[in-house]
């Protein structure tokens, strides 16, 4: 991939109720078939873009050996969209990076599927077939540890989250396992913070069941979003209504099943994503079903978007459907959370013509809803030099009200560049509740982040103990600043901010 460049952007609006300001766009050029899987916002409000690429005449991590397969590819951008660093992690065969989570120490855990044995950057042998390959990195992209998880069957990673005890849940699919129930099942692995495996769970029926999304829940557990083709069988206790259904499974923090729900019509309904709300969850995907099964909204044209709001026990609160007149593919969802309610829901995806791809048919779109699922506006997002195939991979709504869209853009299949766009939205910005000063995590063990919620050019951050003695003092020009709390003894401290605009703020920090 070549150097980043900045391009102008235009927005085509279906409605003009809301307008976005283009902050920046970055394109990472490529001449190969590159896959972009995710964009992750870091604790210091920077961005990590992850996917899989074939390195072109680059040997950063492979010594004197050229690897011609796909590698894990990670790029960190700052808030201005400038590249901070770029890393490749290579095995001796194909390795596909599919999921990333920001960790509480400021780094990331990378989860992907590896077809490689031991060699190059991969430190463990293959377990047989494809395996799950995990790499934990720090904020500079340096490896902290890695782990290969697998068996004689075929495993693939699809999602990863960090838990409240600083460990991890990794979710993926497993095929043709003698411990499974069907041709393809869901595999859930619980790890401690150092990568030690604590438990495994396989979920599925007699047909194919594939994990699409996993999110953490408020009680320390996880919610799984599964595209299911199985009726009641194996571990599945809910009946399918059609060809494929949404299967939702809630796990406790110990990884045990607490409840499960099934949603679908008589045709194919493909779950894509989940999001946490103030009252429970919203699940979403694409539907080809009319009113049937437990689907209460009809089908308009082609493939519709279908959203369902659930409470924390999985009971339905509302259903909604939306249509862009072709094949609509939902790729991501974010919410704006108020103190006691969900203020808005932002969806992102791409649209293509039914049955064929035509020039201009594939482009990024955004759909914004209120907290009850009522449409507020929709937009298509185009680049300065619009490519034939533009497919959104992920969308993030940031806490400062900005929106990050990340996907691929190509003139022809097999030559995909990465396209990352940052937008600002004044209306969304007004909905977000801001604090003059925010400290996280709090209580803290080793490192804390101090976030300043108002505008300034330079600020001074001062840390006092509760007797008023100054412990640390430093200046910053960043909205989010990392501070080292390792030398502090257990107890309470006061963080004070003073800025060049004469604004000041205070907040308490608790050291564990």
Q: What's the pLDDT score for residue 66?
A: 58
Could you give the CA distance from residue 182 to residue 184 in angstroms, rounded to a whole number?
A: 5
Q: Inform me whether the pLDDT recorded for 60 exceeds 80.
A: no
Q: Inform me whether the pLDDT recorded for 125 exceeds 80.
A: yes
- What's the predicted TM-score (pTM) here? 0.88
Categorize the per-residue pLDDT at 63 as very low, low, confident or very high, splitting at 50, 70 and 90: very low
Categorize the per-residue pLDDT at 105 as very low, low, confident or very high, splitting at 50, 70 and 90: confident
Q: Which two three-digit tokens encode residue 168? A: 């991890």
Q: Inform me whether the pLDDT recorded for 299 exceeds 90.
A: yes
Rounded to the nearest angstrom, the gap between the alpha carbon of residue 462 and the centroid of all alpha carbons in its chain is: 34
Contact indicator for 273, 330 with CB cutoff of 8 Å: yes
Q: What's the pLDDT score for residue 412?
A: 76
Q: Inform me whether the pLDDT recorded for 287 exceeds 80.
A: yes
Q: Inform me whether the pLDDT recorded for 502 exceeds 90.
A: no
Specify which residues 9 forms β-bridges with: 383
Q: What's the pLDDT score for residue 9?
A: 40
Report the SS3 class of residue 427. Answer: helix
Q: Which CATH class name applies to 437-511?
A: mainly beta
| Portion of the chain with pLDDT greater than 70, in percent | 91
The lowest-confidence range among 11-25, 264-278, 446-460 is 11-25
**Mean pLDDT value across residues 285-310:** 95
Q: What's the pLDDT score for residue 302?
A: 82
DSSP calls for 56-120:
SS--SSSTT----SEEEEEEEE-TTS-EEEEEEE--SS-EEEEEEEE-TTS-EEEEEEE---SBT
Within the chain, what is the greatest distance between any pair of CA atoms?
71
**Mean pLDDT value across residues 295-323:** 95
**Mean pLDDT value across residues 246-259:** 97
**Mean pLDDT value across residues 189-214:** 97
Name which of 38, 147, 144 is nearest 98 in CA terms.
38
Strands 9-13 and 184-191: unpaired
Q: Inform me whether the pLDDT recorded for 12 exceeds 90.
A: no
**Mean pLDDT value across residues 111-127:** 97
Q: What's the pLDDT score for residue 389?
A: 83
Question: Does 21-431 match 437-511 in CATH topology?
Answer: no
**Mean pLDDT value across residues 194-214:** 97
Element housing 431 (H / E): helix 426-431
Could you give the CA distance from residue 127 to residue 155 in angstroms, rounded to a whole number?
A: 10
Contact indicator for 347, 305 with CB cutoff of 8 Å: yes
Q: How high does pLDDT run on average in the chain?
A: 89
DSSP calls for 443-489:
SBSSEEEEEE-S--S-EEEEEEETTS-EEEEEEE-SSEEEEE-TTSP
Rounded to the nearest angstrom, the gap between the alpha carbon of residue 481 and the centroid of all alpha carbons in its chain is: 23
**CATH of segment(s) 21-431:** 2.130.10.10
Contact indicator for 389, 370 with CB cutoff of 8 Å: no
Categorize the per-residue pLDDT at 326 as very low, low, confident or very high, splitting at 50, 70 and 90: confident
Q: What's the pLDDT score for residue 1?
A: 43
Between 249 and 1, the higher pLDDT residue: 249
Q: What's the pLDDT score for residue 150?
A: 96
Q: What's the pLDDT score for residue 3?
A: 39
Q: Inform me whether the pLDDT recorded for 5 exceeds 50.
A: no
Cα–Cα distances (Å) from 235 to 105, 202, 203, 260, 420, in that order, read: 36, 8, 6, 11, 40
Report the SS3 class of residue 407. Answer: strand
**Mean pLDDT value across residues 397-420:** 87
Bond prior to 271 in cis (omega within 30° of 0): no
Tens of pLDDT along 328-354? 899 999 998 877 889 999 999 998 755
Q: What's the pLDDT score for residue 68?
A: 74
Report which listed range, 60-74, 96-110, 404-418, is most confident: 96-110
Q: What's the pLDDT score for residue 57?
A: 58
Categorize the per-residue pLDDT at 91 as very low, low, confident or very high, splitting at 50, 70 and 90: very high
> Residue ranges per domain, the chain?
21-431, 437-511
Q: What's the pLDDT score for residue 348?
A: 96
Report the SS3 class of residue 121. Answer: coil
Q: Inform me whether the pLDDT recorded for 14 exceeds 50.
A: no
Q: Inform me whether the pLDDT recorded for 4 exceeds 50.
A: no
Residues, the chain, total? 512
């Amino acid at each position: 991939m070549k150097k980043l460049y900045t391009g102008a952007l235009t927005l085509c609006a279906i409605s003009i109720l809301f307008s976005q300001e283009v902050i920046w766009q970055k394109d990472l050029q490529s001449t190969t078939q590159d896959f972009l899987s995710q964009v992750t916002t870091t604790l210091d409000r920077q961005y990590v873009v992850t996917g899989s690429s074939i390195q072109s005449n680059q040997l950063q991590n492979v010594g004197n050996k050229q690897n011609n397969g796909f590698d894990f590819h990670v790029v960190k951008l700052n808030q201005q969209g400038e590249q901070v660093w770029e890393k490749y992690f290579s095995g001796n065969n194909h390795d596909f990076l599919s999921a990333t989570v920001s960790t509480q120490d400021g780094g990331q855990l990378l989860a992907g599927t590896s077809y490689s044995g031991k060699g190059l950057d991969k430190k463990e042998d293959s377990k047989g077939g494809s395996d799950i390959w995990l790499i934990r990195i720090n904020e500079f992209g340096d490896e902290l540890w890695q782990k290969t998880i697998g068996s004689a069957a075929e495993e693939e990673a699809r999602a990863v989250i960090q838990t409240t005890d600083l460990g991890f849940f990794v979710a993926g699919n497993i095929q043709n396992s003698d411990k499974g129930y069907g041709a393809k099942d869901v595999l859930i692995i619980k790890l401690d913070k150092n990568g030690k495996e604590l438990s495994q769970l396989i979920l599925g029926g007699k047909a194919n069941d594939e994990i699409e999304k996993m999110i953490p829940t408020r009680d320390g557990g996880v919610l799984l979003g599964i595209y299911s083709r199985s009726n009641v069988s194996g571990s599945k206790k809910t009946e399918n209504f059609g060809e494929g259904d949404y299967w939702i499974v809630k796990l406790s923090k110990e990884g045990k099943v607490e409840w499960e729900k099934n949603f679908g019509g008589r045709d194919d309904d493909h779950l894509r994503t989940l999001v946490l709300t103030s009252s429970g969850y919203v699940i979403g995907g694409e539907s080809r079903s009319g009113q049937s099964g437990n689907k209460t909204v009809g089908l308009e044209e082609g493939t519709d978007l279908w959203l369902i709001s659930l409470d924390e026990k999985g009971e339905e609160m509302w259903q909604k459907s939306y249509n862009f007149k072709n094949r609509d593919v939902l790729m991501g969802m974010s919410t704006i959370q108020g103190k006691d309610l969900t203020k808005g829901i932002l969806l992102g995806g791409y649209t293509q013509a039914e049955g064929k791809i035509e020039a201009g048919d594939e482009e990024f779109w955004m759909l914004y809803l209120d907290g009850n699922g009522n449409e507020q506006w929709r937009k298509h997002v185009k680049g300065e030099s619009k490519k034939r195939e533009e497919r959104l991979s992920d969308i993030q709504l940031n806490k400062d009200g900005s929106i990050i869209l990340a996907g691929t853009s190509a003139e022809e299949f097999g030559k995909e560049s990465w396209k990352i766009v940052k937008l600002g939205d004044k209306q969304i910005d007004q909905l977000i509740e801001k604090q003059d000063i925010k400290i996280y995590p709090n209580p803290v063990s080793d490192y804390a982040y101090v976030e300043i919620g108002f505008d300034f050019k330079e600020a001074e951050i001062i840390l006092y103990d509760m007797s008023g003695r100054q412990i640390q003092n430093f200046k910053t020009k960043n909205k989010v600043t990392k501070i080292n709390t390792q030398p502090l003894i257990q107890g309470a401290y006061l963080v004070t901010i003073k800025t060049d605009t004469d604004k000041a703020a205070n907040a308490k920090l608790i050291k564990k």
